[in-house]
Amino acid sequence: MMESLGPLSAGNDDCQDARELEEAKAKLSQPTKWLIEQQTLLQFLTQLKVLSRKETNRKALGQKAIAQLLKHLSDHSVDTKILAEGANVVLNVCYERDNVRALLACGGASTLVEFLTSKDEELQANAAGALQSICFQPEGRTVVRSLGAIPPLVDLLSSGSLNVRARAVGALHNISSDEDSIRVIRRRGGIRWLVRLLHHTQPCVCGSAAGALQNVSREVASRLLIRDSDAINSLIKLLQSTEVQTQVCAAGALLNVLGPELCDEGNPTPQGLKRREAFVKTITLILVASIIKQTVFTKQTRNIIASATKNSIAPVITKSSSPTWPKMTPYPLGGISPSRTQTAPSIPSYSRFRGDDHSQVPKPPLNTDWSLGLIPPGRRALFLDENKNARADKQSMD
């Protein structure tokens, strides 16, 4: 009986969400001044933020509602706390590519870029988070860069607010996957701050900094700056991070920074190619070993090993639940995608993350230049998402 109520309950929830979404869209059409006088603008933006965590609601929002939302956010009479909540709505809504295009068509990105220079730290952080979400898409990166968002984002890396720094580095991580943005980041002095953030106490910030360095290291001038800093030792330490995505970004950065030094790409020699191949294998094996340590040696396994050592008797290991990936520390800009298997040592030449306002599940890096395929085929399912899905995602986004 209870099992039969499951689908019915889910259907009721969907119907309720649909009704609430239509009510929110109706409120969006009201004049900003009236909503402020009624003291309902903040309340319904919070409701819209929650509703937009569901894919069906995001897709049902529509270009008209997005344009009306941006109209409220561009009103200078609106309090910064309300604007910050509106930026969170944009962050969630722009998880859908069609919504990103709708926002860009309405000129909404320029409003968010203006928020970066606000004196309110919450508004700065949420605007940077929304820009990270927009910059997951190629067209978003192009527009955001052209609006001059990179200089204020780099400036926010030195903010006294942890949340502002975390979200700014997340936005730079995504926008730096666009090659035309790399030179701007370097000239603004962003590499120096990205290297500093590799030492951050929060793994999520280290991961975004490593990802951004991985991206900018594709440019020779940036690569030399990274090589001559203390970034190499920090990136090596991040190979042992508790977060898989951070490990992959650190490995990708090391390969991008040091790999070309081992072999002249313009005139490769057999000896140089062998050196680079050996280096790639070494980094990859270190990465694999670290992931195996985290995933295979669970608490249950450690207890079995400890028991075996104590009693000097080899235990009989019965089949139990599959090893799980270590729990990801939520990123300040969290992603709203459904949970999926974490990825391991398919190391791309560049990377980017999604984000939302609560919990993030990083999008698995796509197989590109540095994909190595060193794991035996029979064991790849333990570490990698299905390659077909990854390639399909890449084709649909690029």
The pLDDT tens digits of the residues spanning 186-198 come to 999 999 999 999 9
Residue 334's contacts (CB-CB under 8 Å, 6 or more residues apart) are: 355, 356, 357, 358, 359, 360, 361
- For residues 193-221, average pLDDT: 92
For residue 165, the one-letter residue type is R
Nearest to 292 by CA among 204, 387, 382, 385: 382
- Least confident segment among 19-23, 230-234, 326-330, 350-354: 326-330
How would residue 372 be classed by pLDDT, with cut points 50, 70 and 90?
very low
- For residues 148-176, average pLDDT: 95
Domain boundaries, the chain: 34-188
Q: Tell whether the model's pLDDT for residue 180 goes beyond 60.
A: yes
pLDDT at 115: 97
pLDDT at 125: 96
Nearest to 173 by CA among 161, 190, 189: 190
For residue 202, the one-letter residue type is Q
pLDDT at 265: 66
Determine if residue 107 is left, alpha or beta; phi over 0 gives left, psi from -120 to 50 gives alpha, anything else beta.
Answer: left
3-state SS class at 271: helix
State the chain's mean pLDDT as an integer.
Answer: 76
- Between 261 and 88, the more confident residue is 88
How would residue 300 be classed by pLDDT, with cut points 50, 70 and 90?
low
- For residues 47-70, average pLDDT: 92
**Which of the listed ranges 116-130, 200-214, 233-247, 250-264 does the model predict with the highest average pLDDT?**
116-130
- Tokens encoding 106: 């309405």
Q: Residue 160, class by beta-carbon neighbours within 10 Å (0-12 exposed, 13-18 middle, 19+ buried)?
A: exposed
pLDDT at 390: 43
- For residues 144-155, average pLDDT: 97
- Between 261 and 77, the more confident residue is 77
pLDDT at 27: 84
Please give the Cα distance from 5 to 11 (Å, whole number).
10
- For residues 191-216, average pLDDT: 92
Please give the Cα distance from 168 to 155 (Å, whole number).
9
- Between 201 and 108, the more confident residue is 108
- Between 243 and 392, the more confident residue is 243
- For residues 1-19, average pLDDT: 62
Task: Give helix 121-134 / helix 162-175 axis angle, nearest 10°.
Answer: 20
Instruction: List b or e across 252-282, with b for residues whose CB sees 16 or more CB atoms inside 10 angstroms.
Output: bbbbbbbbbebbeeeeeeeeeeeebeebbee
CA-angle at 125, arms to 397 and 215, nearest 5°: 40
- Least confident segment among 6-20, 175-189, 298-312, 350-364: 350-364
**CATH number assigned to the domain covering 34-188:** 1.25.10.10
Nearest to 165 by CA among 212, 211, 200: 200
pLDDT at 352: 64
- What is the dihedral angle through the alpha carbons of 354, 356, 362, 366, rounded to the nearest 10 degrees? -20
* Percent of residues, the chain, with pLDDT higher than 90: 43
The pLDDT tens digits of the residues spanning 282-293 come to 777 777 777 666
pLDDT at 16: 81
Q: Tell whether the model's pLDDT for residue 110 goes beyond 80.
A: yes
pLDDT at 33: 86
Q: Tell whether the model's pLDDT for residue 314 goes beyond 50.
A: no
pLDDT at 387: 46
- Tokens encoding 219: 């440019």
- Between 91 and 10, the more confident residue is 91
Length, in residues, of the chain: 398
pLDDT at 85: 95
* Percent of residues, the chain, with pLDDT higher than 70: 65
pLDDT at 7: 55
Nearest to 152 by CA among 127, 179, 135: 127
- Between 104 and 361, the more confident residue is 104
3-state SS class at 52: coil
DSSP string, 277-303: HHHHHHHHHHHHHHHHHHHTS-HHHHH
- For residues 241-246, average pLDDT: 83
Q: Tell whether the model's pLDDT for residue 358 goes beyond 80.
A: no
pLDDT at 194: 96
- For residues 279-283, average pLDDT: 72
